[in-house]
Structure 1
Amino acid sequence: MQLDLYRVFYVTAIEQNFSKAARKLYITQPSVSHAIKQLEEGLGVQLFVRTSKGVTMTNEGETLFGYISPAFGLINNAERKISELKNFKSGQVTIGGSDSTCKHFLLPHIQTFQDLFPEIRIKLQHGSTPQILEKLSTGLIDIGVIHLPIDHDQIKITEFLTINSTFIVGEKYKDLAESILTLEDLLNYPIISFSETSSSRRFLKRLFQKQGLNVKPDIEVGSVELLIECAKIGMGIGFVTKELVSKELSEGELFEVRLNVKIEKRKIGLITKKEIPLSLAATKFFTHLVETRL
């Protein structure tokens, strides 16, 4: 039996009038009568009894209505939900990134986005670059924010931000910031960096290797905040994204170590799955990130 026939029956049962049902369905009154007749013949029962004011359901009609009413209610709710999503009245976006990336590079964009679309929920998941790639592959996140470069066949990469890396010290090693040093000079002091699996650590390693040097940090930390504190109290020379310590540098809590070699800029990228389109809400947020990036 065609679903359209049941829809005509459902609306007619609610309106209790063929003419009113026709107007609601945007069809003619004879079309409603014909559809009900087809349904009655197919089921082998009478569904409506005509009255002076319209129609009323028979016992069989009430039984049928009781079964199909929840189904059409769900369909109506689904159509309403799709309309809300289309107009950004609801929806959810899940983004993944490291703690520092989320805090310093993502949260400002989330705030401006929620000012524009307060009904869309934003969820955050943190992790290292390999963990974010895994979360994206398994569908746990819609968009990832990671340090580039990466090499992954199933991932679409969009460049998001350009960042600078630098070496920093606290008051104890302040004199190191007063002259230009070589990378080899830095090896005479404790080096503070992130864990070996982090993109920052891999970048640090390549930086020294280009000069024929090998670096093995004395202190490994798991967050920018901890690295900053370690540098402040004089535990060594920290390697960090410069944009993340701009406040401490400007206020004289940390000091930048100048080198005789230029440290190349790094890229932060947005990653999505190639073969799976983003939801309407996620697409809107992705566009917002790209359009408002620095």
Structure 2
Amino acid sequence: MDFNLEYYRAFYYAAKFGSYSKAAEHLYLTQPAVSQSIHRLENSLGGCKLFIRNSHGMDLTPEGKLLFTHVDKAFVLLTAGEVKLSRFNSLENSDLYIGATETALDFHVLPHVNAFSQRYPRISLHIQGCHSGELLEMLKAGKIDVAFGVTPVSSKSGFTFACLQTFQDVFIAGSAFSDLALRELDPKELTQFPLVVASPGSSFSGNLTRWLQQEQLEWQPRFHVLTTSYILPFVQNNIAIGCVPELFARQWIQQGQIAILKVRKLPPRRSIFAASNPALPLSAASREFIRIMEAEADSQKTE
């Protein structure tokens, strides 16, 4: 059976308005054109009648009522799709779906959210937070428009990456370990102390594990926490030494409760990245957010 959307469109509006002439007016067609489309639809469906005339106009036959229940659902979905597509390509009343790790969110995404939301107050921002690997899975499935994560990641295939900034992971300690901050430490010395780190499965955990293997060090973290910010209370209360991005450590040092340990060799540097899925088009909102982010980054470089 040949499917012709125009036939169904004529049928849908004729049934909705109960009139060929009103359907024709709505579709900017002539009444004979609407009548002919419905007649051809009836023939394609085996010659069944979809309408019967009455004193007020047109009524659906039992076959017409059955068909309309399905066609009505289809046109509701089509209309919803058109609305979503319009919002996708518009900067008004649209949605922006961002995925970000804690490090990327705190130090690269949030500084730009304020400028973006002030310029486009009617755009709703939806921010998902999880590990970089999980973000890329969400990006692959089209659940987010753009992902802001940290390296390393297990695979970069299928995505477009842009490096936003690099950073160093450092070891931090509280007052009970203040004597350690007075001298340069060998990585092996650190293995004598309890360690608190972000949960296994994170980019940080993978980077640290590879570094320990390269240095031939055996050091099992005593404590695993959900996110980097949970490490600070363990360090402040002298429960363990922590390993965190230096971006976080700088903030916490200002509070005067922790110190960065001088270690002869540190884990490899990591980077904050923005990733998009070239198989899926970027919405107007996500393109504009990235544009504003890049513009602000360029202005900071020239200052």
Contact persistence 1:205–1:214 (CA under 8 A): no
Contact persistence 1:136–1:273 (CA under 8 A): yes
Contact persistence 1:171–1:253 (CA under 8 A): yes
Q: Which position in structure 2 is the counterpart of 1:222?
A: 226
Using the aligned pairs only, state the percent identity. Answer: 23
Contact persistence 2:90–2:284 (CA under 8 A): no
Indicate how the Cα distance of structure 1 residues 271 and 194 shifts in structure 2: closer, same or farther if over 3 A, else same: same
Contact persistence 1:93–1:120 (CA under 8 A): yes
TM-score after normalising by structure 1: 0.71
Name the amino acid aligned to 1:89.
Answer: E
Q: Which runs of structure 2 are paired with 1:2-81 in the superposition (5 Å)?
A: none
Q: Which position in structure 1 is the counterpart of 2:132?
A: 129
Q: Which position in structure 1 is the counterpart of 2:242?
A: 238
In 2, Cα distance between equivalents of 1:177 and 1:80: 59
* Paired residue secondary structure (1:95): strand
Is it true that 1:164 corresponds to 2:164 in the alignment?
Answer: no
Q: Which string of whole-angstrom CA distances, capped at 9 and with x for unpartnered residues, describes residues 151-206 of structure 1?
A: 53222111122222110001111111111001001011111111221111111122
Name the amino acid aligned to 2:229.
Answer: E
Is it true that 1:111 corresponds to 2:114 in the alignment?
Answer: yes
In 2, Cα distance between equivalents of 1:86 and 1:140: 17
Q: Which string of whole-angstrom CA distances, capped at 9 and with x for unpartnered residues, describes residues 42-64 of structure 1?
A: 9xxxxxxxxxxxxxxx99xxxxx
Indicate how the Cα distance of structure 1 residues 140 and 82 shifts in structure 2: closer, same or farther if over 3 A, else same: closer
In the TM superposition, residue 269 of structure 1 has moved relative to its aligned partner by: 0.8
Name the amino acid aligned to 1:175.
Answer: D
In 2, Cα distance between equivalents of 1:158 and 1:285: 14
Q: Which position in structure 1 is the counterpart of 2:141?
A: 138
Q: Which string of whole-angstrom CA distances, capped at 9 and with x for unpartnered residues, describes residues 256-278 of structure 1?
A: 00012254421111111121111
Count residues in correspondence: 283
Q: Which moved more, 1:244-253 or 1:148-157?
A: 148-157
In 2, Cα distance between equivalents of 1:169 and 1:273: 40
Name the amino acid aligned to 1:188.
Answer: Q
Q: Which moved more, 1:151-160 or 1:133-142?
A: 151-160
Q: Which position in structure 2 is the counterpart of 1:184?
A: 188
TM-score after normalising by structure 2: 0.70
Q: Which position in structure 1 is the counterpart of 2:287?
A: 283
In the TM superposition, residue 280 of structure 1 has moved relative to its aligned partner by: 1.2
Identify unmatched segments of 5+ residues in structure 2. 7-12, 14-29, 41-56, 59-76
Name the amino acid aligned to 2:221.
Answer: P
Q: Which runs of structure 2 are paired with 1:148-163 in the superposition (5 Å)?
A: 148-152=151-155, 153-163=157-167
Indicate how the Cα distance of structure 1 residues 81 and 149 shifts in structure 2: closer, same or farther if over 3 A, else same: closer
Corresponding residue to 1:99 among 97, 102, 107: 102
In 2, Cα distance between equivalents of 1:140 and 1:79: 19
In the TM superposition, residue 90 of structure 1 has moved relative to its aligned partner by: 2.4
Contact persistence 2:165–2:271 (CA under 8 A): yes
Q: Which moved more, 1:80-89 or 1:197-206?
A: 80-89
Contact persistence 1:94–1:143 (CA under 8 A): yes
In 2, Cα distance between equivalents of 1:213 and 1:262: 13
Contact persistence 1:95–1:144 (CA under 8 A): yes
Identify unmatched segments of 5+ residues in structure 1. 5-9, 11-31, 43-57, 60-73
Superposition RMSD on alpha carbons, in Å? 4.3
Name the amino acid aligned to 2:171.
Answer: F
Contact persistence 1:100–1:223 (CA under 8 A): no
Contact persistence 2:200–2:206 (CA under 8 A): yes
Q: Which string of whole-angstrom CA distances, capped at 9 and with x for unpartnered residues, describes residues 208-244 of structure 1?
A: 2332223211111112222011011101110001111
Q: Which has the larger radius of gyration?
A: 1
